[in-house]
Structures are given as structure tokens and as C-alpha cells.
Amino acid sequence: MAAALAGCGRNDVEVYRVAREQAPVEAAMPAGHPGAGSGAPRLQWKLPAGWEEVAPGPMRLASFRVAGSGGKQAEVSVVPLPGLAGSNLDNVNRWRSQVGQPPVTEAELPRLAQPVEIAGQKAELYEQAGAAPGSGSGSRILVGVLRREGIAWFFKMTGDDGLVAQQKPVFVEFLKSLSFAAGPPPGLPASHPPGVGGGVK
């Protein structure tokens, strides 16, 4: 991911597990977190079958692991960033570089944006496929982008090409299941470096 959020590590996000088909899962910054006072992210979702919740890393509000046949894997991350967090063009070209694809121009970008619903709002879904530099293995990236109340939300699935392609309908349903709890828009921890927050890797 671009810049690491200091103080948003393994123990900074509480994820509550519930049985499938029951009340949605919710992730939120705990009351003692330095970012809670500025309006912490509170997001709810329905956990898809076959997805495993894992401890979120830096910058992430939530993380999931998806296992396929033959040892194939994919991961899903939820990352809220303040402001614009980079233009869509910059972000898409960054993701394209991660699967060995050349950059696109501003004029070419609209054809890559697929309409999608995230938390009941209109958003964009970007899909890039190719070969991971270094390994040469087939890789695919799906990213749902939602900008609301001064926050850019990135929902990213990345991993084995075939597995991610197979999981795309599940990922889209996951995006539709998302909802924001009542409260102020999310903010950054007090320890976050000033001026950092451009784009999601």
C-alpha cells in the first residue's frame, strides 16, 4: 500500500465475528484509538462463504483471505484514505503496473470503469489482469472505489488470475452488502504523517 498509517496495526481494529446469514459484521476503531476522536470508520458487511477474516495490516480497516483449489489464494483489503487519495488515473496505472500492464491515458480511463454499487451508492470497479512482475504468474486485481464525505474508500481483491475472476460475482455482492453505520466520517490517527495519503497500492 502507498504510505503506511502509523498506529493502525494488527490490534487497532476490532472485527466482530457472527454466524453467516445473521447480523452484519462491523469493523470500527476502538474508543482508545488515537483516530477515534476525529470520527473513526464504522463499516458493516456480510461475510461471503469461503472468505476468512484476518487481522488487518497498516492502513486497512479490514482484511480477508480467499482460498481456492490447488493452493490458489486471493486477498481482500478495505482501505479508507482522506481526501482524493490520488486520481483514478494514477491509481489505475499503479494497479496495472502490478500485473505487468502498460499505463493508460485519461481518454482511455472511462472504458475501464465498470459501474458498481457500494453501500447503496454509485461507484466504480476497475479490473486489471496480467502477470505479476518477477514471478510471471497470472494475477488479477479488482478494485471498487467509493468517494464519500471527504473519504476515498478502496475495496481491493488481488491474487491468482483464475481465482479472482471466479470470485468477481462474490466480490460484487460483498460490495453491495456494505453499509456505513451512523456517525461522523472517518478520520486519520493523530500519529499519521502530515501530507501523506495519496493512492492505494
Q: Is residue 131 part of a domain?
A: yes
Query: Which residues on adjacent β-strands are paired with residue 80?
Result: 153
Residue 15 has pLDDT above 90, yes or no: no
Q: Is residue 68 part of a domain?
A: yes
Q: Is residue 153 part of a domain?
A: yes
CATH number at residue 65: 3.40.1000.10
Q: Is residue 81 part of a domain?
A: yes
Higher pLDDT, 80 or 184: 80
- Count CB atoms within 10 A of the CB of residue 11: 10
Query: Which residues on adjacent β-strands are paired with residue 95?
Result: none
What does each C-alpha distance from 201 to 22, 106, 169, 183 come to in angstroms? 33, 19, 23, 28
Residue 144 has pLDDT above 70, yes or no: yes
Of 58, 61, 73, the C-alpha closest to 154 is 61
What does each C-alpha distance from 79 to 56, 103, 111, 166 come to in angstroms? 10, 23, 24, 23
Strand order across the 179-180 sheet: 14-15, 25-28, 42-45, 179-180
Instruction: Give percent of the chain above pLDDT 90.
Output: 55
Q: Is residue 5 part of a domain?
A: no
Q: Is residue 192 part of a domain?
A: no
Q: What is the mean pLDDT of residues 68-73?
A: 91
- Its pTM stands at 0.73
Q: Is residue 19 part of a domain?
A: yes
Q: Is residue 200 part of a domain?
A: no
Number of structural domains found in the chain: 1
Q: Are 17 and 143 in contact (CB under 8 A)?
A: no
Structural domain including 152 reads 14-180
